Amino acid sequence: MIIGYLLIINLITFIAFAVDKNNARKQRWRIRVTTLLGLSFIGGSLGGLLGMYLFRHKTQKKAFTIGIPFMLIMQLFISFYYLTIEF
């Protein structure tokens, strides 16, 4: 169940970064920074990190270059703990 959630939230986050980059190029409406970081925070940090560097988007912003890798590390620790506890 948790793996399915993580796959979906990472896909959504990755797509959000792609859409925001595309809209930035075309000078259209943008996705809020808090939304991008929020999606990363609730489990989409891997998708956010891949989106950042694949689309070269938000790579100059410290909130993203420091925050998203930190979130990923924390999520890996939490996931490892969750998957190793015995019920």
Q: In the prediction, which pLDDT does 83 show?
A: 79
Distance CA 9, CA 44 (A): 5
Distance CA 8, CA 25 (A): 26
Q: How far is CA 45 from CA 17, 28, 40, 66, 84, in A?
A: 11, 25, 4, 12, 21
How far does CA 5 lie from the centroid of its chain? Answer: 13
Phi, psi angle pair for 22, to nearest 5°: -60, -45
For residue 46, name the pLDDT band (cuts at 50, 70, 90).
very high
Share of the chain above pLDDT 90, in %: 83
Domain count, the chain: 1
Q: Which domain holds residue 34?
A: 2-84
Separation of first and last alpha carbons in the chain: 15
